[in-house]
Amino acid sequence: MKNKSLVSITDFSKSDYLKILDLAEEYERHPVKDILKGKVVATLFFEPSTRTRLSFESAVNKMGGKVIGFSDSSSTSVTKGESLYDTIKIVSNYCDLIVMRHPLEGSARFASEIATVPVINAGDGANQHPTQTLLDLYSIRKTQGKLDNLTIFMVGDMKYGRTVHSLLMAMSQFNATFHFISPDELKMPEEYKIHLRSVGLRFYEHKDFTDIISEADIIYMTRVQKERFSDLIEYERTKNAYVLKNKMLVNTKENLRILHPLPRVNEIDQDVDQSPKAYYFAQALNGVYIRQAIISLILGLN
Amino acid sequence: MKDKILEVSAIENGTVIDHIPPKALFKVIAILGLDKIDNQMTLGSNLQSKKLGKKAIVKLSEIFFPDKDINKIALVAPQAKLNIIKNYKVIEKKVVEIPDDIIGIVKCMNPKCITNSERIITRFKVVSKNEVKLKCYYCEKITDQDNMEII
Ligand SMILES: [Zn+2]
């Protein structure tokens, strides 16, 4: 992994994932390690994402490194029309690693080709956000004690949700069984179903969000966004059909945990927060450890 | 058949590209960069064809393409037939085949793709050949036949 960019979850192998998760566990036990002393990490956020940026910056600081960068492009030369190419060329001279978020899809792949230092993709439009996926894997392994042979229910927007697509690609290496619960308009795209068939994994599609979740080890909730619907009447009809409520958890498994990439709108009722099966807030905390692990492996400093 | 090919005007040595859909003719010209070369060439369009109804044909004097170059036109003219001419005779017939990777030529249909806002040579993996589907190396979205635009 040393000196390798992390643009897409498929850039890393299964053994890379496991190495990252193991190291993240180590950071959870001992978060402060002075291994980034004298190193500079650039966080280039061409669009704001406070939570992701703070998580990366916290990770760098805990390891004794320094952060340079910007939190949205309005205060930079980008607003003067500088190309991404020029920005990346110049920033490469100032740092050992680039963490980048950009509204255009493919921007991180392009940056990784130009930069003379490794690039970590912190989100390129609707395309990829691999550190989120690794954090999801970490949360799954931590709560289930394993990654293999789990039953995963994904609920809400299967069509546009990049987090569910990346998680599907990653978990498909661990013999998972998938259930997708979504309205017809937001069904899982064919290309992902083709992938699952090609690797011989079982998956089931459902329209109704009911007591079928009794088999679930993991429920991964996502937002159903209004702008995804061409028919607003259809949106009004479906928006409350994919909400998880505490009473739905009655017959679920003891080891079930509920994940959500956050922020949530209304898709998880607040009454679920009290349940020991709610894991979405702890999930966000794990992000710092996972990012510490990724940064130190890419810089070859662990 | 031989007379048909010679309908526009015969060439001594070179390549005849036949069975091009008329609406793809100018795309073929662009893909092969024919607008940038000095060789003698003859173009015919909206000619009668049993197979296509109407077809276009390109005759290029003293030009022979490597397979990897000529195969690019399969994106817009999958049924194109090549006749390699030496001494006014067809010495070889070829069909075109879509390559596995497409570099340049096609514009990514995703308006939010980085290749549409920076100066980048596009790159696609051909994920389906029957009904052409190209997966962008950058944004990872699919550009299909109906939305394919030649740069
Ligand atoms: Zn693209």
Q: Do residues B119 and B90 both lie within one domain?
A: no
Angle (CA) A242-A173-A201 rounded to 5° is 65
Instruction: Quickly list H helices, chain A.
Output: 14-29, 50-62, 84-92, 107-114, 130-144, 162-171, 190-198, 232-238, 280-298
Structural contact between residues A220 and A152, judged by C-beta atoms closer than 8 angstroms: yes
Q: For residue A25, what are the contacts with CB-CB under 8 A and spacing of at least 6?
A: A142, A289
User: Count of residues for chain A?
Assistant: 302
State whether B86 and B31 are in the same domain. Answer: yes
One-letter identity of residue A22: D
The last residue of a domain, from among B53, B70, B95: B95
Tell the burial category of B68 from Cβ atoms under 10 Å away from its Cβ (0-12, 13-18, 19+).
exposed
Q: Could you tell me if B119 lies within 8 Å of chain A, comparing CB atoms?
A: yes
Record the tokens describing residue B64, joined without a space: 């022979």
Residue B72 lies in a domain: yes
A24/A251 Cα distance (integer angstroms): 33
The reply to whether B121 touches chain A by the CB within 8 Å rule is no
Alpha helices in A40-178 (DSSP H): 50-62, 84-92, 107-114, 130-144, 162-171
Domain of B120 in residue numbering reads as 101-150
Residue B19 sits in the same domain as residue B84: yes
Mean pLDDT over residues A257-273, rounded? Answer: 92
Instruction: Please tell me whether residues B22 and B69 are part of one structural domain.
Output: yes
CB within 8 Å: B114 and A85:
no
Same domain? For B22 and B68 the reply is yes
How far apart CA B140 and CA A128 sit, in angstroms, is 9
% residues pLDDT > 90 (chain A): 76
Number of domains in chain B: 2
CA of B135 to the centre of ligand 1 (A): 8
When comparing pLDDT for A98 and A161, which is higher?
Answer: A98
Q: Do B20 and B83 lie in a common domain?
A: yes
In a shared domain, residues B50 and B105:
no
Nearest to A105 among B110, B118, B142 (CB): B110
CATH of the domain at B36: 3.30.70.140
Segment A50-78 shows an average pLDDT of: 89
Q: For residue range A196-242, what is the model confidence (pLDDT) as tens digits?
A: 999 999 999 999 998 889 999 999 999 888 777 778 888 887 888 89
B133 close to A (CB below 8 A): no
Test B113 with A8 for CB contact under 8 angstroms. no
Instruction: Given the cut 0.95, state whether the ipTM is greater than it.
Output: no
CB distance B17 to B80 below 8 Å? yes
- Which residue in chain A has the smallest CA separation from B109? A105
Active-site residues of A, by number, are 51-52, 80, 101, 129
- Contact between residue A203 and residue A196 where contact means Cβ atoms under 8 Å apart: yes
Residue B1 lies in a domain: no
Average pLDDT, chain A: 93
Of B76, B95, B114, which marks where a domain is finished?
B95
Name the residue facing A104 among B114, B136, B140 (closest C-beta): B114
Task: Write out the two tokens for A3.
Answer: 């000196």
B6 lies in a domain? no
Residue B16 is given by DSSP the state E
List the structure tokens of A200. Answer: 């011989």
Reported pTM:
0.85
Interval A20-61: pLDDT, tens: 999 999 999 998 889 999 999 999 999 999 889 999 999 999
State whether B30 and B78 are in the same domain. Answer: yes
User: Using CA atoms in the order A244, A249, A254, A256, what is the torsion angle rounded to 10 degrees?
Assistant: -20
Contact assignment for B139 to A103 by CB distance below 8 Å: no
d(CA B19, CA B25): 10
Q: How many CB pairs under 8 A join A and B?
A: 51
pLDDT at B6: 47
Closest of B145, B110, B149 to residue B137, by C-alpha: B110
Q: Which of B57, B76, B95 is the last residue of a domain?
A: B95
pLDDT tens track for A173-184:
999 999 999 999
Domains and CATH numbers, chain A: 9-128+287-298 (3.40.50.1370), 130-284 (3.40.50.1370)
Residues in chain B: 151
Strands (E), B1-151: 14-20, 41-49, 53-61, 81-86, 89-95, 101-103, 106-107, 123-128, 133-136, 142-144, 149-150
Task: Classify residue B7: in a domain, yes or no.
Answer: no
Q: Which of A8, A85, A125 sits opposite B118 (nearest CB)?
A: A85
B8 in a structural domain: no
Same domain, B91 and B18: yes
Same domain, B61 and B123: no
Residue to mutate among A104, A124, A191, with most B CBs inside 10 A, is A104
Comparing CA positions, the residue from A153, A168, A161, A269 lying closest to residue A208 is A153
Give SS3 for A50.
helix
Same domain, residue pair B89 and B140: no
Residues A58-81 have a mean pLDDT of: 85
- β-strand partners of A70: A44
State whether residue B151 sits within 8 Å of chain A by CB. Answer: no
CATH number, position B115: 2.30.30.20
Alpha-carbon gap, residue A77 to B94, rounded angstroms: 53
Q: Is the peptide bond before A263 cis (omega within 30 degrees of 0)?
A: yes
Nearest to A105 among B113, B119, B120 (CB): B113
Mean pLDDT by 10 residues, chain B (151 residues): 55 93 91 91 89 88 90 90 93 92 92 95 91 92 87 82
Tell me which long-range contacts A200-203 makes (C-beta under 8 A, separation of at least 24): A201/A172, A201/A175, A201/A176, A201/A177, A202/A177, A202/A178, A203/A177, A203/A178, A203/A179
The answer to whether position B2 is within a domain reads no
* Residue A263 amino acid letter: P
* 3-class secondary-structure state, position A97: strand
From the CA of B58, how many Å to the nearest CA of chain A?
37
Q: CB–CB of B115/B122 below 8 Å?
A: yes
CA of B125 to the centre of ligand 1 (A): 11
**B114 with B67, same domain?**
no
